[in-house]
């Protein structure tokens, strides 16, 4: 499978590869033996343009299970992104598990640089995820439009990416699919991390083994089929993202998948001469083959390139105890038939 980027401009990689390493087997959590389907609850009032308290507008994206539409709250006028999940497309256990995992993790993680889930509305044939709207689009498109990101601006973005990743890891969650396509920009051009479908929970000190995500952003230990430290997996991806921002193309490229993996395993990349020595050093620290020697978040924050500007991440607002801004009743186990039966708690398989 090709996952290439031209040395002139970054290109969108091929679709996500789950089980990138043939010998790696995804071990599903225990599931009911009968064919699992989404529940059918009483239909919510919905028309072609209205959904509960929201008015649906134009389509702004297309996903595996349906479209993403722009929505507006009827009373407040607030714009939201409405992820429309077609139930008929979500029939396989793995698909139900992916959707349920994303809902559960978005419910868990509350941070200015992680997209927020506001509400879930269910109809007979669809699930509507009412989410925070990031009007600036993908970081990927921003890089393409500008050819590359000037280093001071890339540093600002990187502060926000690192802050979001730090929060995700603090919740014992690993993202496993960090890439510019999964980093959105809001109206203030601030980063919002999205798409937790390949994420998982982990215990302190636990190693994971499932190979998933996009090959160009995957670390050597995942590509080679080894068990891996979850946090180090995401930090390698952060190194690839940083390279893509300041260079305008990906560090690892080859039309042959086997050759691509060899380059990743050897960290065989060539930074261009037009980027600073300081950012080269930071990239090298993140794109270190040995995960035990790879830069940690503390190392990143202590690096001179990171410190060239004042901290640019947005601080989380203090929440009143027990208040998370969501309708908790909507996000209970009724949303999916026995969601807990999929065991999204930490699993040794990873």
pLDDT per position in the chain (350 positions), as tens?
A: 444 344 556 766 654 444 443 333 232 333 233 333 333 333 455 545 889 899 999 999 887 788 999 999 999 999 999 999 998 988 888 888 888 888 999 988 999 999 999 999 988 889 999 999 999 999 999 999 999 999 999 999 999 999 999 999 999 999 999 999 999 999 999 999 999 989 999 999 999 999 999 999 999 999 999 999 999 999 999 999 999 999 999 999 998 999 999 999 999 999 999 999 999 999 999 999 999 999 999 999 999 999 999 999 998 764 333 334 434 333 343 444 434 433 333 444 56
In this prediction, residue 33 carries a pLDDT of 33
Evaluate whether the domain defined by 33-133 bears CATH number 3.30.200.20. yes
* Domain positions in the chain: 33-133, 137-308
Q: Is 93 helix (H, G, I), strand (E, B) or coil?
A: helix
By C-alpha distance, which of 62, 267, 239, 68 is closest to 158?
239
User: Alpha-carbon distance 210 to 217, whole Å?
Assistant: 15
By C-alpha distance, which of 92, 82, 81, 93 is closest to 123?
82
The catalytic position among 141, 177, 299, 329 is 177
User: Alpha-carbon distance 346 to 217, whole Å?
Assistant: 23
The number of C-alpha atoms within 13 Å of 213 and in the hemisphere containing its C-beta is 28
By C-alpha distance, which of 228, 238, 350, 240 is closest to 291?
228
Residue 167 annotated in ligand binding: no
The terminus-to-terminus CA distance of the chain in angstroms comes to 24
By C-alpha distance, which of 175, 158, 111 is closest to 301?
158
By C-alpha distance, which of 138, 131, 139 is closest to 158?
139
> Which segments of the chain does DSSP mark as H helices, in order?
93-108, 139-146, 151-170, 220-223, 230-247, 257-265, 277-286, 297-301
In this prediction, residue 237 carries a pLDDT of 98
With residue 149 as reference, give the H or E element that holds it: none
**132 has which bridge partners?**
80
In this prediction, residue 9 carries a pLDDT of 66
- Exposure b/e, 244-255, CB count within 10 A at least 16 = b: bbbbbbbbbbbe
211: left (phi over 0), alpha (psi -120 to 50) or beta: beta
Burial of 178 (0-12, 13-18, 19+ CB in 10 A): buried
By C-alpha distance, which of 163, 187, 165, 185 is closest to 174?
165
Q: What is the pTM of this model?
A: 0.81
User: Alpha-carbon distance 110 to 113, whole Å?
Assistant: 9
- The answer to whether 55 touches 79, Cβ cutoff 8 Å, is no
- Sign of the torsion formed by the C-alpha atoms of 316, 321, 324 and 325: negative
- The answer to whether 177 is a known catalytic residue is yes
Structure tokens at 283: 């990239």
Per-residue CA distances from 176 to 40, 127, 190, 321 (Å): 31, 24, 21, 30
- The answer to whether 275 touches 246, Cβ cutoff 8 Å, is yes
Polymer length of the chain: 350
Looking at domain 137-308, its CATH architecture is Orthogonal Bundle (1.10)
Burial of 58 (0-12, 13-18, 19+ CB in 10 A): exposed
By C-alpha distance, which of 81, 78, 79, 74 is closest to 52?
74
């Amino acid at each position: 499978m090709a996952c290439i980027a031209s040395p002139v401009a970054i290109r969108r990689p091929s679709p996500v590869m789950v089980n990138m390493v043939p010998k790696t087997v995804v071990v599903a959590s225990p599931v009911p033996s009968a064919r699992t389907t989404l529940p059918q609850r009483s239909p919510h009032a919905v028309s072609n343009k209205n959904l509960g308290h929201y008015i649906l507008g134009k389509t702004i994206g297309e996903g595996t299970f349906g479209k993403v539409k722009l929505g507006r709250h009827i009373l407040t006028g607030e714009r939201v992104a409405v992820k429309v999940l077609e139930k008929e497309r979500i029939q396989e256990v793995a698909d139900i598990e992916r959707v349920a995992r994303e809902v559960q993790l978005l419910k868990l993680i509350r941070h200015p640089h992680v997209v927020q889930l506001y509400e879930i509305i269910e109809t007979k044939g669809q699930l509507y995820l009412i989410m925070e709207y990031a009007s600036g689009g993908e970081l990927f498109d921003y890089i393409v439009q500008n050819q590359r990101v000037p280093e001071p601006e890339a540093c600002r973005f990187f502060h926000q990416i690192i802050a979001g990743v730090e929060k995700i890891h603090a919740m014992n969650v690993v993202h496993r699919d960090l890439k510019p396509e999964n980093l959105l920009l809001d109206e203030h051009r601030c980063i919002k991390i999205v798409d937790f479908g390949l994420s998982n929970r982990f215990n302190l000190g636990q190693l994971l083994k499932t190979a998933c995500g996009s090959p160009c952003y995957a670390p050597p230990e995942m590509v080679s089929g080894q068990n891996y430290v979850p946090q180090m997996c995401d930090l390698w991806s952060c190194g690839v993202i940083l390279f893509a921002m300041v260079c305008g193309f990906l560090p690892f490229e080859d039309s042959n998948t086997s050759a691509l993996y060899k380059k990743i395993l050897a960290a065989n990349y060539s930074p261009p001469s037009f980027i600073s020595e300081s950012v080269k050093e930071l990239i090298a620290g993140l794109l270190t083959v040995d995960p035990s020697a790879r830069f940690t978040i503390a190392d990143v924050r202590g690096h001179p390139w990171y410190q060239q500007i004042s901290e640019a991440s947005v601080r989380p607002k203090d929440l009143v105890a027990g208040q998370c801004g969501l309708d908790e009743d909507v996000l209970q186990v009724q949303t999916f038939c026995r969601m807990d039966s999929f065991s999204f708690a930490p699993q040794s398989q990873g």
